[in-house]
Structure 1
Amino acid sequence: MFQFIGRLSATAVGAAALTATMFGAAPASAEEIVARLSYHWAPAHQSAIFCEEFAKRVNERGEGKIRIETFPSGQLFGIREIMGALSSGAVELGGVVGVVSFPPVDKNYNVEAMPGMFKDFAQLRRFFQEDETGQEIWNGVLKRTRTQFIGYNPTGPYMTFSAVRPLTSPEAFVGLKARYLAGIERPRWSALGADAVSMPTREVYTALQNGMIDTFNTVPAAIKAYSWWEHVKYGQLPFLFHADAFTLANQAWYDDLPDDVKQILLEVGAEIGAESTKSIMEFSTQVLNEFEERGGQVDTLTDEQLAAFTKVDDEKVIPELGDFVDANVIEAARAFVAN
């Protein structure tokens, strides 16, 4: 725990505590528990919609017992800040994107973002729930960050977009300016010949507008929610990986809750997880259809084209992933999906 907080820096944790004080929960009756749910997604993003639905259902079923107040669009904490805020107790509940928040705690969670490793959210989650290696990663992250899993709220399937040209061959990436959010994306951009720059979500629109970046990996929902489709023109399928996200709670806060309130949170969390997972895949298809109606182009790679990218991944990318995923974890994931 202390090692993790140290990596976030004392300044970041102090700022989180100060922000929590500034945005303190409204007064409640002696019996009612008031909790804050912080998430970074814009209101139109499917994950934001389901955060609001989660709070709504908990408030209805727990009326007089618990009330959740939501703080969207990073009002309290951004995508890279929320994990530290939850760990320190600066906020009670948070929307957490696994591939962003978990690797600083255990680099091996990066296995989620390996191109083509897991075919869907169900297979990805089963790896962390059923496989011994996957369980060790998942349980270790929650224990070290002192957080409690409440439910799934996936960000969506990741794919590659470009503002410059179709992405139908590895050569198409040479010279492009690529934004990355998760560190594990960087080796692949380099292998494809693109210049990679780390950039938070809030800066992407302006960077596209001024030409600072012209390609990136993201979920279809994001190009609509953040209006990025005003600048990107091309998309590449199949999906690279499935980016899971979660509603997590500060463990100490959760442990102090009455059992009936815990039950409400977990029941609603399970419902939202099932609904949001189904919805995000349908919504992704809908967004891509809208993207094409707006003049965008989505190219589904042929077997031959896909083989060319797989060759780059096998020969250039995976050998460079030692700093991101241990070899035994990659082997365990491959064995799991093969069976």
Structure 2
Amino acid sequence: MLSPAHIQSKARITAIGSYVPERILSNADLERMVDTSDEWIVQRTGIRERRIAPPDVFTSDLCVKAVQNMVEQFQVSIADVDMILVATTTPDFPFPSVACLVQERLGIPSAGALDISAACAGFVYALNLANGLITSGLHRKVLVIGGETLSKVTDYSDRTTCILFGDGAGAALVEKDEHQPSFLHSVSGSDGRAGIHLYRTGISDRLNGVCLSGEGNIVQNGREVFKLAVSTLNREIPKLMQEAGMSLDELDWFVPHSANIRIIQAVCERIGFPMEKTLFSAEYYGNTSSATIPLALHLGLREGKLKKGNTVLLHGFGGGFVHSASLITWTV
């Protein structure tokens, strides 16, 4: 039996779009809210601004606008989409899913709808799932969205987390194409023991026997998350490239989750990859969890960096602890 790594993909990414709210929360604004400084934030995170959704605007609203941006830019039809996958940790409701809200708002007549909870790795998980659904023959056209309103679950009195998070959404269309597929190789993994280092309380307030704090807001042990992210990517990236039969020299762009610049710098240093060949969305959008990677891709496309035929490595990592990577040929 063939392993997933040796199954020829039949799926192609054909369009991409994004949306961020208008309101900007700058480092100067945060200086007036908590004990911090622009210099400290930029040095530690690479973030200068983040976007904040209004009180009456939610994740589904941002997702819909990202899809509309994609449709307007690429003149694609979504009427025949047969599956909607939304990666989010901040759904409007526990249910109905954001995917169902998007289906209704966009008037897509007949599509499956599923939310994916994989924190900052969610968009890459969703892309890989879309590839599997199409390659297997179960679906032909999948709408993949990563969207968050993290400002609604951020404690703005906690200077260790409020400097990081912002709101935004990105969308991609994945369609059946046996002749020009996008997907070359993928890998996903998890370490549930590390969930205690990055969480948001919900129905339960205990994890691995430990009583949690946070009252529904994000709680993060930054030092442990940093170590987990760097060690995971340092281990998994060379392994993935070897399994794909490629070297890092053949990689045009590396698009990791834009958690903060220091993680990316540390990973690039360890694997010997140039920072100037990475795409980063957090400088002006903040850490938008599942949306950072599609935002970075769309920025790279608009700035003329990302071109058809480029070999691109996407790598998401986050709370769970989960990670997911996808090696693709850029086909948009």
Query: Normalising TM by the smaller chain, what interval?
Result: under 0.3
Higher strand fraction: Structure 1 or Structure 2? 2
Q: Considering only CA atoms, is the larger Rg found in Structure 1 or Structure 2?
A: 1
Superposition TM-score, scaled by structure 1 size? 0.27
Higher helix fraction: Structure 1 or Structure 2? 1
